[in-house]
Amino acid sequence: MTKAKRKRLIYNLITFALVIGAYFIIQNMIAEKTISRLLKGLLVPICAWIVMAVSLNLVIGFSGELSLGHAGFMCIGAYTGTIVSGWLLAAYDMQDTTLRLVLAIVSGGIVAGVFGALIGIPVLRLRGDYLAIVTLAFGEIIRNLVKWLYVGTKDGELCFSFLNKDMPKGVKMLVDGAQGTKEKIISTFPAGVILVLVTLLIVLNLVNSRAGRAIQATRDNRIAAESMGISVTKYKMMAFVTAAVLAGMAGALFGLNSTTVEPKQFSFNQSINVLVFVVLGGLGNVLGSVISAVFLTVLPEVLREFSDYRMLAYAVVLILVMIFTNNPLIRSFVDRLISPVRALFHRKKDTMPGGDLQ
Amino acid sequence: MSFLELLINGLRLGSIYAIIALGYTMVYGIAKMLNFAHGDIIMVGAYIAFCGIQNWGIPPVPSIMLAMLVCTVLGVAIEGLAYRPLRQATSLAVLITAIGMSYLLQNTALMIWGANTKSFPTTFINNSSISVGELTIPSATLITIAVNIVIMVSLTLFTSKTKTGKAMRCVSEDRGAAELMGINVNRTISLTFAIGSALAAIAGVLMCSTIPSLAPTTGSMPGIKAFTAAVVGGIGSIPGAMLGGILLGVVEIFGNYYISTDLGDAIVFAVLIIVLLVKPAGLLGKPMREKV
Amino acid sequence: MTEAKRHRSDTKMVPVPSQSIVPERDVNELPVLETRHLGIEFGGLKAVDDFNLTIGKTEIAGLIGPNGAGKTTVFNLLTKVYEPTSGVVLINGKDMHGMSIVQASRQGIARTFQNIRLFDKMTVEENVRIGLHNKYKYDMFSGILRLPRYWIQEKRQHERSMELLDIFGMQDLADKQAGSLPYGAQRRLEIVRALATEPKLLLLDEPAAGMNPHETEELMENIAKIRDRFGIAILLIEHDMSLVMGVCEGICVLNFGRVIAKGTADEIQANPAVIEAYLGKRKEAEA
C-alpha cells in the first residue's frame, strides 16, 4: 500500500470510529440518564446537520462549486418524508415507525435528487458567483412554493392543493401551507447515526474512486480535465445530485423529528449556516465537516443563557477565524510561533524505529 | 389597482432595488467580492434616520445626511478592518467574512434597538400626492424615482469623467495593472465602499418610507434581491444595476398583484434564473473568456 | 459552416495543400493530423489564417515562430478549445468539425499547456489516473460499494500509472501533491498525464520552458524515446531552438498567424523568410 493510500485509510477509519464511538457513549449516557434534556433533543438534528455539511462539502470542497441553496433540498426532503410517512400510515395502516422512517428518508432522498438533477442541468453551466446566486434563488423559490402547498389524507387517499387551501371535509392535514408540516415524531437517534454512517460511506468512497477523482479534477482545472476526456458537466452533476439526495435524506430525518417544520426553517440563512460548517471544517475535509457541524449545532444551544451575546460573539469569532487563517502575514506569524513545536513532533516521527516497514 | 398605478409602484420599488444594487455592483466590480453585509448597512442607515427624527428631534433632511455619514464611516471601517486583510484570500473566505459581518451588524442592531419592529414614520417624506387625471401618485414615489435618476446620472458621469472615477474603472478591469499605473488600489476600494454605503443609507430611508417596518433583519431580504438585480443586469455594470433593479421591482409588484401575494419573491428569483440561462453574464454584462 | 454546406456541389473550388511532407516511413500510412486552410478570427483579427499542416503517423514535428505568432491558438484549434472559423482539421482522416474538447480527446489527441495546468490539489499518481479515466472504467456505484470491479480496475490503474511515471523516473513522487512539485517535474508530469490517455497525437506546448540546459537535453532524448515506445506522432511548440532542431523531423514556422516556411531543420535554418521573422528585416543601408 502506498503512503498516501495508507494515510487516507487511517483518516477514514478515524472518521468512522469517532462517529460510532460517540454513538455508544451517548447511548450509554441515555441508559444511565446522565444526558441533559437539551442535548438529548439535539441528537437527531445534529445527525441531520452532519449529513448536510458532509454533502455540501462534496459540492463545495470536492467539485469546487459554491452552492447556496442546500437548505432547499433539505426542505424538499422534509416535506416528502412527512407526506410519505403520513400516506403510508393512512393508506396501508403501516404502524411500524422504523419501516416508515426508512421509506420516508429514502423517498425524501429520491425526490430531492430529482430536483437536484432538474436544477443542476441549467445551473451547472454557470460559474463561480453566478452559480452561487442562482442556487440561492432556487432554494428560495422552493421555500416560497411550499408555503402554498397543502397536502392531507382522507380515507387513505392523498389530496393535494396549491395556492388555495381546497381540501375536503374531515381531511387530516400533513402539509398546511405556511404552517408547515404536521406529523408525529418518528425519527430516532440510531436512525440518525446510521444515516450519518451511510453518508460518510458514500462520500468518502466516492471521492476515493474514479468518479471522485474526476470530480476533483474538474475543480482543480476545468480545461485540463476536459482535455483528458472528462465530461465536466457529467461529474459536476454527479456531485451536485449526490449531495441533493443526501440533503433530502437529512431533511426527511429532520422533518420527522418534530411535530411541525415550517418553510422559514429552510431559508437561505440555513444554507449559509451549513456553508459555515463546511468552511470552518475545511474544504474537502469530511471529518472537519462532521466536527464543525456538531460543535456549531451544540454550542449556540448550550450558550442559550447568554442569548444576546452569543450570536454577536459567533459573528466576531467567524470574522477573526477567517482573517487569521487567510491573511498571509498573520498566517506566517502564527506558523513561526508554532513551528518549533511542530518540528519537535516531526523529528520524533522521523527517528521512530521501524519506519521502513511497509 | 390599475395597471398604471401598479407600474408606478413597481418603478418605486425598482428604484430602491436599483440604488442598493449599485452598491453591490460597484463593490463586486472593484473588489470582486460578494458583500453580504451590504443589506445590513441599509438597515443601519434606516435606524439612524429613524432615531434622528423620532428620538433626537433632528429634521428629516439632516437625519438622512447623518445616516449617510454613519453608513459611509461604517462601510469604510468594515472594508478596512475585515476585508482588506483578505485581499489575497480565496473568494470563499471573503464571502464567509462578509456573512460574519452581516451577522455582526444584525446582532449589534438587535442589542441597540431591540427585536421589536419599529414603525418608520411615513410622513417622513412629504405625505402629499399629485394627481394626473385619474391617477394619484404619492410624492414619495416621485421623490424615490427622482433620487434614483439623479444617483444614476451622477454616478455615470463620475465614473466616466472624473479622474477618481476612471481610476475605479481601471481597478475593476485589472487590479495589478492599475497598481502599476500608480493608482492607489486600497484607497479606490475604500472609496467604492464609501459611495456604496452612502447609497445604502439613502436606499434604507426610501425603503422604510415605502414599507414602514424596521427590524434588525429588515435589510437582509431586500439586500439579496438587490444583489439578484445586479446580477440580472450584469454585475459590475452601473446601467445594468439600474435596469435589473427596475425590472425586478416591476416584476415583483405585478407578480404580487396578478399571481399571488408572497409569491413575488419566487417570481423575482425565477426572473434571475431565466435571464442567466439566456445571458449567462446578465443583461448588460460582458462574457468572460478563460485564456488557455 | 455546416457539414451539408461544405459538400455542396456549387462550392467554389480551391486547391487543397498537397505539397506537405511527412517522414518516408509514414508515407503509406494515413497521416495522424491534416489541416486544410485552417483559420480563426477574433473580432476581425485573423489570429490564424490558411494554416496547412500534415503530420505523419510517427513524426515528431515542431511548430515555431516569434511570440504572438498564433502557435498556441493552433493548439487550441486542434484540441477544440476554439472552433475554427474556416478550414478543417482531420485526425486520422476524421473531420473534427463541431466536436467538443472531450470528444477531441477521445479521437486520440492529448496536450500539455504552456501555463501548466495540473490538478494541483491531487497527488502525482491521481493526476496520471485522470489521464487513464477512459481506459480503465468502472461506474460510480462500483466505486461507492467497493464491488470487485473497483478493486480490479484500481489495481490496473495503479500499475499503469507507475509504468507511465517510470518514463521520467517519477515513481518516487507518486504520493506528492502535484502543485508542490518543482517546475520541471510539473512539466514532465503533464506529459505523462497526456500520454496516459493513449493519444495518437501528442501536443506539447513549450515543454522545455523553465528547464535548465541539462533538463532540456534529457527531455529531448525522452521525446524521441516516447515516440519510439508508443509509436505516436508528436507536435511541439518550443522556443528552445536546440531542442527543436535536435528532435523535430518536420518544422513549420508561423508568423502573424500564417505559415511562412515548412521543411526539415536544415531547410528552415537556411530560409531567408524565417531569419527575417526572427531577426527583422535587414536595413537598406546595410544591403
What is the SS3 assignment for A153?
strand
Say how far apart CA A327 and CA A282 lie, in whole Å.
Answer: 16
Chain B residue numbers touching A163 (CB-CB < 8 A): 260
Chain A residue numbers touching C153 (CB-CB < 8 A): 210
- Pick C151 or B119 by higher pLDDT: C151
Kindly tell me if the per-residue pLDDT of A348 is higher than 70: no
What pTM, to 2 d.p., does this model score? 0.90
Say how far apart CA A243 and CA B96 lie, in whole Å.
Answer: 21
Of all residues in chain C, the one with the smallest CA distance to B290 is C81
Contact (Cβ atoms closer than 8 angstroms) between residue C124 and residue C178: yes
Contact (Cβ atoms closer than 8 angstroms) between residue B289 and residue B38: no
A224 near B CB under 8 A: no
Give the model confidence (pLDDT) of B70-104 as tens digits: 999 999 999 999 999 998 888 889 999 999 999 99
Of all residues in chain C, the one with the smallest CA distance to A209 is C143
Q: Which of B239, B24, B18 is nearest to A133 (CA)?
A: B24
For B40, the grid coordinates are 445590513
Say how far apart CA A53 and CA A290 lie, in whole Å.
Answer: 7
Give the model confidence (pLDDT) of A77-119 as tens digits: 999 999 999 999 988 888 899 999 999 999 999 999 999 999 9
CA-based nearest distance A185→chain C, Å: 31
Q: What is the DSSP string of C29-53?
A: SPPSEEEEEEEEEETTEEEEEEEEE
CA-based nearest distance C159→chain B, Å: 32
Share of chain B above pLDDT 70, in %: 96
Q: Name the amino acid, one letter, at B194.
A: A
- What is residue B125's predicted lDDT score, i.e. its pLDDT? 61
Kindly tell me if the per-residue pLDDT of A275 is higher than 60: yes
Chain A residue numbers touching B111 (CB-CB < 8 A): 308, 312
CB–CB of A223 and B290 under 8 A? yes
CA-based nearest distance B108→chain A, Å: 7
Domains of chain B, first to last: 3-124+137-278 (1.10.3470)
- What is residue A199's predicted lDDT score, i.e. its pLDDT? 97
Q: What integer is the mean pLDDT of A203-232?
A: 95
Choose, out of A2, A199, A207, A220, the residue to mutate when testing the contact with C (most C CBs < 10 Å): A220
B92 near C CB under 8 A: no
CA-based nearest distance A34→chain C, Å: 38
Chain A residue numbers touching B31 (CB-CB < 8 A): none
Answer positive or negative: Cα dihedral of C103, C104, C109, C113.
Answer: negative
C110 near A CB under 8 A: yes
- What is residue A356's predicted lDDT score, i.e. its pLDDT? 35
CA-based nearest distance B132→chain A, Å: 36
- What is residue A170's predicted lDDT score, i.e. its pLDDT? 80
A265-324 residues touching B, CB cutoff 8 A:
268-269, 272, 275-276, 279, 283, 308, 311-312, 314-316, 318-319, 322-323
Say how far apart CA C193 and CA C188 lie, in whole Å.
Answer: 9
Contact (Cβ atoms closer than 8 angstroms) between residue C184 and residue C105: no
Chain C residue numbers touching A233 (CB-CB < 8 A): none
Contact (Cβ atoms closer than 8 angstroms) between residue C85 and residue C41: yes
Of all residues in chain B, the one with the smallest CA distance to C74 is B292
- What is residue A354's predicted lDDT score, i.e. its pLDDT? 35
For C14, the grid coordinates are 480551391
Largest CA-CA distance found in chain C, in angstroms, rounded: 79
Neighbours of chain A (3+ CB pairs under 8 A): B, C
A197 near C CB under 8 A: no
Q: Which of A15, A42, A24 is nearest to A257 (CA)?
A: A42
Q: CA-based Rg of chain B, rounded to a whole angstrom?
A: 19
- What is residue B126's predicted lDDT score, i.e. its pLDDT? 60
Kindly tell me if the per-residue pLDDT of A167 is higher than 60: yes
Q: What integer is the mean pLDDT of A141-165?
A: 87
**What count of CB pairs under 8 Å joins B to C?**
4
Say how far apart CA A317 and CA A302 lie, in whole Å.
Answer: 17
- What is residue A332's predicted lDDT score, i.e. its pLDDT? 80
Of all residues in chain B, the one with the smallest CA distance to A128 is B91
B277 near C CB under 8 A: no
Domains of chain C, first to last: 28-108+199-281 (3.40.50.300), 120-190 (no CATH)
A327 near B CB under 8 A: yes
Chain C residue numbers touching B292 (CB-CB < 8 A): 72, 76, 81, 113
CA-based nearest distance A219→chain C, Å: 8
Confidence band for A349, pLDDT divided at 50, 70 and 90 = very low
Say how far apart CA B192 and CA B26 lie, in whole Å.
Answer: 7
- What is residue C16's predicted lDDT score, i.e. its pLDDT? 62
Confidence band for A343, pLDDT divided at 50, 70 and 90 = low
Q: Name the amino acid, one letter, at A109.
A: G
Q: Where are the beta strands (DSSP E) in A156-296?
A: 157-162, 172-176
- What is residue C6's predicted lDDT score, i.e. its pLDDT? 52
Which of A255-259, B76-80, B136-140 bottoms out in mean pLDDT, i.e. has the lowest?
B136-140
Contact (Cβ atoms closer than 8 angstroms) between residue C112 and residue C203: yes
CA-based nearest distance A12→chain C, Å: 14
Q: What integer is the mean pLDDT of A336-352?
A: 59
What are the pLDDT tens digits along chain C (287 aa)?
Answer: 445 455 555 656 666 665 677 888 888 888 899 999 999 998 888 999 999 999 999 999 999 998 888 999 999 999 999 999 999 999 998 999 999 999 999 999 999 999 999 999 999 999 999 999 999 999 999 999 999 999 999 999 999 999 999 999 999 999 999 999 998 899 999 999 999 999 999 999 999 988 888 989 999 999 999 999 999 999 999 998 889 999 999 899 999 999 998 888 888 888 888 888 887 765 554 44
Q: Which of A223, A210, A256 is nearest to A103 (CA)?
A: A256
A111-170 residues touching B, CB cutoff 8 A:
122, 125-126, 128-130, 132-134, 136-138, 140-141, 144-145, 147-148, 163
Chain B residue numbers touching A138 (CB-CB < 8 A): 269, 273
Contact (Cβ atoms closer than 8 angstroms) between residue C78 and residue C46: no
Share of chain B above pLDDT 90, in %: 47
Confidence band for B129, pLDDT divided at 50, 70 and 90 = confident
Kindly tell me if the per-residue pLDDT of B35 is higher than 70: yes
Chain CA centroid to CA A22, Å: 18
User: Which of A60, A316, A326 is the closest to B86 by Cβ?
Assistant: A326
Average pLDDT value over all residues in chain B: 88
- What is residue A350's predicted lDDT score, i.e. its pLDDT? 40
Query: Which residue blocks in A93-127 are alpha helix, DSSP H?
Result: 97-123
CB–CB of A315 and B263 under 8 A? no
CB–CB of B92 and A122 under 8 A? no
Contact (Cβ atoms closer than 8 angstroms) between residue A286 and residue A197: no
CB–CB of C197 and A224 under 8 A? no
Answer positive or negative: Cα dihedral of C216, C220, C223, C229.
Answer: negative
- What is residue A10's predicted lDDT score, i.e. its pLDDT? 92
CA-based nearest distance B292→chain C, Å: 8
Of all residues in chain B, the one with the smallest CA distance to C72 is B292
Q: CA-based Rg of chain C, rounded to a whole angstrom?
A: 20
- At B137, which helix (H) or strand (E)? strand B135-138
Give the model confidence (pLDDT) of B171-181 as tens digits: 888 888 888 88
- What is residue A355's predicted lDDT score, i.e. its pLDDT? 33
CA-based nearest distance C18→chain B, Å: 31
CB–CB of B101 and A315 under 8 A? yes
Kindly tell me if the per-residue pLDDT of A75 is higher than 90: yes
- What is residue C62's predicted lDDT score, i.e. its pLDDT? 94
Contact (Cβ atoms closer than 8 angstroms) between residue C140 and residue A211: yes
User: Which of A140, A269, A330 is the closest to B269 by Cβ?
Assistant: A140
Of all residues in chain A, the one with the smallest CA distance to C157 is A210
Does the predicted interface ipTM exceed a cut of 0.90?
Answer: no
